[in-house]
Each structure stands twice: as structure tokens, then as C-alpha cells.
Chain A
Amino acid sequence: MARFDKAILAEKYGITGVTEVLYNPSYEVLFNEEMKPELEGFDKGQETELGAINVMTGIYTGRSPKDKFIVDDANSHDKVWWTTPGYPNDNKPVTEATWAALKDLAVKQLSGKRLFVVDGFCGANKDTRMKVRFIMEVAWQAHFVTNMFIRPQNEEEFDQEPDFTVYCASKAKVDNYKELGLNSDTAVVFNVTSNEQVILNTWYGGEMKKGMFSMMNYFLPLKGIAAMHCSTYRRRRARLGRQRYLQL
């Protein structure tokens, strides 16, 4: 397995002072991490009768579309379907300066911590999939993305540089959101030029999953590939084999 250590977090992402990094941890490691007795609040996992892990995510039990933003820059400006007053949608613009401030908040939150880094693929087709790197401090969030994304299978896949990076900083708040022109102290922000997502002040795991689904919906049609919100089935022999393509 490829090496990954905290030096990479400092050099590549500016996340400094990391005490330890758990890279693509196994389910066994994840279970022990999310069940640690000293965990409190939304960090804490509870084992159910059937052996699943149950967690609380606070007031965010779903996505927070009002807190979704996309960086409006020279590259994205003419591509993104921006919201308009007449026909509103969730694609609200933020400036590059706001992005820098929000990313800095996430990087500061993740610095000096014990972190989880999970690399997974989004998409089954090797020609069009994206390798996504999730960086977070919450064990069950690492468990969630391990479930939802396709795991690297060999050294070559581990070594492959990620195409997209997600900074999940659920414990950071955007105190100066009014000044930045945001909706609340929660923010879910995409930068389709640097290929990054920053998540602040929401614990909901779906921001990472649906966030990457949204990014596939951005990048694929630009390459001439159809993208849609669906599931697919394939008839095989007498039975219907279920094909989970992007199960949403």
C-alpha cells in the first residue's frame, strides 16, 4: 500500500501540526475509532442491535441547500447554471476571496488534529471516474465515505493523485458569515477550478456524497458524457441483477 503521511498534509494542503493520520483505515479500525469511549457529542458512534453504527448529526439531518455555494471565477463563470432572482436554484456564487477565507477556516480546523484521509473513486468507468480525497477529523465520516465510494484496489490506484479534494471541517463555524455574504455560519462550497470542496459546520455525511454527485454532474456533461439522477438495472438470464451505478 502506498505511503501517506502527515508531511503530505502539510506540503500539499497546508494542514500543519497533524498528530497522526489514518489513511484509508479498515472497517475494523474505523469501528474501534468511532466507538472509542472518550468520544462525545456528534463524534460518538453507538452500535445498534444488528451491529451497525448509529450517529447523531445535530440539526443537519439532511443537506443544507441554502448554504451551498460555488466559486465564481473566470473558469466557472460561463459554465455554471447560476441562480437568478426570477428562477432561483441552489447554485449561488461566492468570490475567490470568500473561498480563500472559507478554505483557510477548514485548514485551520483540521490542523493540529489526528486526521482521517480516505481516497475513493467516484464512478465505475476507469476512463471517466474521479479519484476523490476526503480529509476529516471525525471517524464515522471516514466510515461513511469508505462505504459510499469505490475503494482503490492496488498500489497503482493508491498512488494515483486525487482529482478532487474534500475538506470536511464539521466543527468549524463561519462566524463572519454576514460579512462574507453567506446565509449562515454553515457553508458547503465548491471550487470547480481548483477541484476542491469545503464543508463547514454541518456534520451531515450526505454533503460529501451528494457533493461529489453534483461535481460529476458538472464535469461529465462538459466532456460529452450524460449524467443523471437515477439507478440502473440490468436484465441477466431470468433474473434482474441490480446495477447500482450512482445510487442516490
Chain B
Amino acid sequence: MSYPIYHIKNIVRPISHAPAAKQVIFLSADAFGVLPPVSILDSEQTKYYFLSGFTAKLAGTERGITEPTPTFSACFGQAFLELHPTKYAEELVKRMEMSGAKAYLVNTGWNGTGKRISIRDTRGIIDAILNHSIDKAPTKVIPYFNLTVPTQLEGVDTGILDPRDTYADAAQWEEKAKDLASRFIKNFVKYEDNEAGKALVAAGPQL
């Protein structure tokens, strides 16, 4: 389907002109139940998670996909990259540092309850990012991934912010986390063919 931009009423005018973004959100649907619903990324993690482009293909979105299948699509758009992915990560972070922008990894996938993170909670998370309250929230660090997560956010069920809390037994999370971490590590090997990529390994999951 194709229609001109003028068909949307509330586009930004002059069209597509705005100051530099202050918040960048990477959207992932984690089918493993491992990633927190929101993580606050530092600049090295921003590069790492942008390069990894982790999400899941869901049943019904493509022929042959019958169960959630993890996929790593460089820069969340590998099919359209013509230069080495590290080039995009460098330019993005350079711009973000110039404008003081921060990046967040938002996961709309499943957690230990076996259910998908609710739209209500995801909206609460997006609001907290846009109104900066997430930057003042108390935080903790999730093991293996070293991701910083808020422990409390207005409008969001506190019980889901640490994914381990959504499992009856945190050991179950642990097992899945190790599996997903090893997939990240394995996928990232392809970026280690240049210095920029090699330097980022430390920002990714560690086993």
C-alpha cells in the first residue's frame, strides 16, 4: 500500500523538519523471555544493541515461521545496509553524543508468565522515556547482559521490570538468559573483523 505523506493530517510541518532527537528507542520482541521490558543503554551498549538488531520473527509474519524465531538484523535493517554495519553505529552514536540523546532498548515480547508484555505497560514505558522520568528512576543491573533497568516506573507494573521476577523460579530465567547471551555473542563475531567491532564485544552479554 502506498499513499503520499500529505494524506496524514498531523505530520510535522515543515514536513519532516525537527531538531535532533533526544531519545532513541530500539524496539525488540524477545521470544525467549529474557530481556527486560526496558533497558537504559550507555553509548557502547547503544552501538552493540544497534549492531545486533535482535528481535524475533513471529508466527504468521513469514512463510515457514511457525514459532517465534530469533533474528539478528544488523542495525534493525540489514537488508538495506550498503556499508559495514559499524559505520552506521558510529555515525548514530556520534550524532547522539552531539545532541545529548539517550538510547533505550524496549522489549515488547514475552516474559516468564508466558504472556506478552501488555500494551498498557509498554505505553507506560514510552511515556517514562519521553517525559524523562525514567532517567530519575532507581535502577539495578541485570546479570549476563549488564543492562541497567529501572526498578520502578509510574504507570508500569513494577513486577515486570526485572524479568527474573516474572518466573516462579529465577533459575529458569538464568538458563534462558545464558542461551540468549550465547546467541548474541555468536552473532557478533561477524563484526569483529574490524577494530570498531572488536572494541564493542565488552559492551555485549558476558558468560
B-binding residues in A (CB < 8 A): 63, 65, 70, 79-81, 86-87, 89-91, 124-125, 144, 146-148, 150, 190, 192, 205, 210, 213-215, 217-218, 221-222, 224-230, 232, 234-236, 239-245, 247-248
Contacts and interface: CB of A to CB of B under 8 A. Distances in A.
Given A86-B190, A224-B91, A232 B82 contact: no
Contacts of A63: 79
Contacts of B18: 232, 234, 243
B167 interface: no
B82 A218 contact: yes
Contacts of B78: 89-90
B53 to A, nearest CB: 9
B61 interface: no
Contact of A81 (B12, B82, B92, B94): B82
Interface of B: 2-5, 8, 10-12, 14-18, 21, 75-85, 87-88, 91-92, 94-95, 130, 190
Given A214-B80, A227-B88, A235-B130, A243 B2 contact: no
A242 B16 CA distance: 9
A87 B190 contact: yes
Contact of A210 (B16, B76, B80): B80
A229 B76 CA distance: 7
Nearest to B94: A226
B130 A213 contact: no
B155 to A, nearest CB: 16
B21 A242 contact: no
Contact of B12 (A89, A230, A234): A234
A227 B8 contact: no
Contacts, number: 102
Contact of A217 (B80, B95, B190): B80
A221 B91 contact: yes
Nearest to B2: A147
Contacts of A224: 91, 94
A241 B75 contact: no
A214 B78 CA distance: 10
B4 A217 contact: no
A245 B16 contact: yes
A143 to B, nearest CB: 8
B16 A227 contact: no
11 contacts: A80-B83, A81-B84, A91-B82, A210-B80, A221-B88, A229-B77, A234-B12, A236-B12, A243-B11, A243-B18, A248-B77
Contacts of A215: 82
Contacts of B2: 144, 147-148, 205
Given A81-B83, A214-B81, A243-B18, 7 more contacts: A218-B82, A221-B88, A226-B94, A229-B77, A230-B76, A242-B8, A243-B12
Nearest to A192: B82
A203 to B, nearest CB: 14
A51 B10 CA distance: 22
* Most chain B Cβ neighbours within 10 Å, of A70, A218, A227: A227
A88 B88 CA distance: 18
Contact of A232 (B21, B80, B81): B21
Nearest to A220: B91
A198 B15 CA distance: 30
A232 B81 CA distance: 19
* Most chain A Cβ neighbours within 10 Å, of B10, B82, B95: B82
B21 to A, nearest CB: 6
A144 to B, nearest CB: 5
A244 to B, nearest CB: 5
A96 to B, nearest CB: 18
Closest 3 CB pairs of A and B: A229-B77, A124-B16, A218-B82
* Most chain B Cβ neighbours within 10 Å, of A80, A144, A234: A234
Nearest to B80: A214
A139 B21 CA distance: 38
Contacts of A146: 4
Contacts of B4: 146-148
